[in-house]
C-alpha cells in the first residue's frame, strides 16, 4: 500500500448515507475498469452496490471473464482467492475487509489435512484409493493439496457430479471441510450412512477404527457452517403446525435431519430459482443465511409468496457482515487515487495446483 493511500480510519465515522454517495461517485469515475461483486449473503447496505451478484463460483467465473482490471469482491477471503486463481495475470482482486474470513474454511488447514492423509496411508493406500475433495469454501492451499493428489473442488450445486467423477477414479473420497454437504450429497446418491465416517483430526485415526476406515466409501472431515448449524428438524415441525402447507427448502450445509425433512435441497442459486419460479400464493421455509432470505421475501411478496427464515434465532454470516459501506468506499476511493489496498494474491505454487483442481471441476 502506498504511503499516500487513504487510511481506513478516516472512513470509520462516516455514515452509510455519506458512503453511498462516495461509492457511487467512485464507481462512476472508475467505470469499466472496476467491477464490484456481491455475494448473496452480503448485507444489504453493501449488496446494493454490486454490479453482479451470485454465489462464490458464479462470481469468480464472472471475474475471470470480465474485462475489468480491478475486481472488488464483497464476500469472504476464500472467494477472493478463487477470483485471483481464475482471473488473468493483469487483473487485481481486492477484498474490502481482510478480516472477512470463513469459520468453516478455518476448520480444515493444510497442516492438519496433510497429517490426516499420512494417517490414512497407515491404514489404506490413500494415494491410490482416495480422492480428496474440497468444498470451494476452503483456503487456496487446500485446493492446491487436492490438485497435487489428483483431487478436485466442488460447490454446493455440483457436488453430486463431482462425487460421481471421483468414484470413477477411485473407491473412496476424503471430503472437507464441511461434513454435512458431503453426507447429504452422498446419501442422495445412494451411499448408506454406515459407509461414511467422520474424521476428527484431534483424534487418532480421526476417531475411527481401522476397519471403519477400510470399509468407508466417504471420509467426512468434521467441519460445519456456523450459520447452517442453527437449523434443526424440530423447527420444521413447529412451523408446519401453524402452516401445514409450507414448502421447505434447505441448503445442503444444513444437517442431515433438516435436509431429510426438506422438500428441496440445493445451493443458494437453486433456492433463489426455485422460489422465484414457484406458483403464486405459496409459503416457504428456508434454511440458509438471513440476508438472502429477507431479500427473497421482499422480492416475491407481491406474488403472494411468503418466505420465512427457518431458525427462531438470528443467523447471519458474521464474517461476511464485516464488509461494510465504509470499507467499500475506502477501497474504491483509493483506486480512484491510483492506490490498490487489500489485494489478494495467492502464491504461484498454490495457484498452479489449486487451478488444476478447479479446472477439473469446471470441466465436468
Ramachandran angles phi, psi of 287, nearest 5°: -105, 80
How far, rounded to the nearest angstrom, does the alpha carbon of residue 28 sit from its chain's CA centroid?
30
How far, rounded to the nearest angstrom, does the alpha carbon of residue 61 sit from its chain's CA centroid?
14
Cell of 7: 487510511
- Three-class SS string for 168-229? HHCCEEEEECCHHHHHHHHHHCCCCHHHEEEECCCCHHHHCCHHHHHHCCEEEECCCCCCHH
DSSP state, 72? Answer: E
- Side by side, the strands of the sheet bearing 92-94 are 52-54, 34-39, 70-74, 92-94
pLDDT in tens, the chain (364 residues): 454 689 999 999 999 999 999 999 999 999 999 999 999 889 999 999 999 999 877 887 888 788 999 999 999 999 999 999 999 999 999 999 999 988 888 999 999 999 999 999 999 999 999 999 999 999 999 999 999 999 999 999 999 999 999 999 999 999 999 999 999 999 999 999 999 999 999 999 999 999 999 999 999 999 998 889 999 999 999 999 999 999 999 999 999 999 999 999 999 999 999 999 999 999 999 999 999 999 999 999 999 999 999 998 776 676 777 899 999 999 999 999 999 999 999 999 999 999 999 999 989 8
Give the pLDDT score at 1: 47
SS3 state of residue 73: strand
d(CA 355, CA 360): 8
Give the pLDDT score at 231: 96
Ramachandran angles phi, psi of 285, nearest 5°: -115, 120
Helix ranges (DSSP H) in the chain: 16-30, 44-47, 56-65, 77-86, 110-121, 126-129, 140-148, 159-169, 179-188, 210-215, 233-242, 256-261, 268-277, 290-300, 325-336, 348-362
Domains and CATH numbers, the chain: 8-99+319-346 (3.40.50.10800), 105-225 (3.40.50), 228-309 (3.40.50.10800)
d(CA 328, CA 332): 6
How far, rounded to the nearest angstrom, does the alpha carbon of residue 163 sit from its chain's CA centroid?
18
pTM of the model: 0.92
pLDDT, tens digit, 9 for 90 and up, residues 116-163: 999 999 999 999 999 999 999 999 999 999 999 999 999 999 999 999
pLDDT, tens digit, 9 for 90 and up, residues 88-98: 999 999 999 99
- Give strand pairing partners of 34: 70
d(CA 52, CA 36): 7
DSSP state, 103? Answer: T
Residue 5's nearest CA partner among 343, 325, 321 is 343
Characterise 31 by phi-psi region: left (phi > 0), alpha (psi -120 to 50), beta (else): left
Residue 96's nearest CA partner among 360, 250, 322 is 322
Amino acid at each position: 500500500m502506498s504511503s499516500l493511500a487513504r487510511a481506513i480510519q478516516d472512513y470509520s465515522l462516516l455514515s452509510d448515507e455519506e458512503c453511498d454517495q462516495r461509492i457511487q461517485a467512485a464507481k462512476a469515475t472508475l467505470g469499466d475498469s472496476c467491477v464490484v461483486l456481491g455475494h448473496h449473503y452480503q448485507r444489504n447496505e453493501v449488496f446494493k452496490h454490486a454490479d453482479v451478484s451470485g454465489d462464490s463460483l458464479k462470481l469468480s467465473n464472472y471475474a475471470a471473464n470480465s474485462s475489468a482490471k480491478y475486481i472488488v469482491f464483497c464476500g469472504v477471503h476464500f472467494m477472493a482467492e478463487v477470483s485471483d486463481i481464475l482471473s488473468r495475470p493483469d487483473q487485481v482482486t481486492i477484498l474490502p475487509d481482510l478480516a472477512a474470513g470463513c469459520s468453516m474454511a478455518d476448520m480444515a488447514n493444510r497442516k492438519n489435512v496433510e497429517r490426516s492423509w499420512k494417517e490414512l496411508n497407515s491404514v489404506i493406500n490413500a494415494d491410490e484409493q482416495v480422492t480428496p475433495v474440497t468444498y470451494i469454501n476452503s483456503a487456496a492451499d487446500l485446493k492446491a493439496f487436492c490438485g497435487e493428489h489428483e483431487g478436485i473442488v466442488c460447490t454446493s450445486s455440483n457436488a453430486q457430479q463431482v462425487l460421481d467423477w471421483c468414484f470413477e477414479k477411485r473407491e473412496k473420497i476424503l471430503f472437507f471441510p464441511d461434513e454435512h454437504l458431503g453426507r447429504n450429497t452422498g446419501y442422495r446418491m445412494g451411499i448408506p450412512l454406515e459407509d461414511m465416517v467422520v474424521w476428527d483430526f484431534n483424534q487418532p485415526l480421526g476417531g475411527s477404527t481401522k476397519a471403519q476406515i477400510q470399509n468407508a466409501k466417504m471420509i467426512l472431515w468434521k467441519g460445519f457452517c456456523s450459520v447452517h448449524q442453527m437449523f434443526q428438524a424440530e423447527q420444521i415441525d413447529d412451523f408446519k403446525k401453524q402452516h401445514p402447507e409450507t414448502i421447505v427448502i434447505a441448503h445442503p450445509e444444513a444437517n442431515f435431519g433438516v435436509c431429510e425433512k426438506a422438500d428441496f435441497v440445493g445451493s443458494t442459486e437453486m433456492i433463489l430459482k426455485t422460489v422465484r419460479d414457484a406458483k403464486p400464493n405459496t409459503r416457504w421455509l428456508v434454511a440458509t443465511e438471513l440476508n438472502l432470505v429477507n431479500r427473497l421475501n421482499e422480492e416475491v411478496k407481491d406474488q403472494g409468496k411468503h418466505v420465512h427464515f427457518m431458525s427462531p434465532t438470528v443467523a447471519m454470516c458474521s464474517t461476511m457482515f464485516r464488509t461494510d459501506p465504509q470499507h467499500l468506499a475506502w477501497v474504491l476511493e483509493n483506486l480512484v487515487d491510483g492506490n490498490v489496498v487489500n489485494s489478494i494474491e495467492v502464491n504461484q505454487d498454490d495457484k498452479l495446483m489449486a487451478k488444476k483442481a478447479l479446472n477439473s471441476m469446471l470441466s465436468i
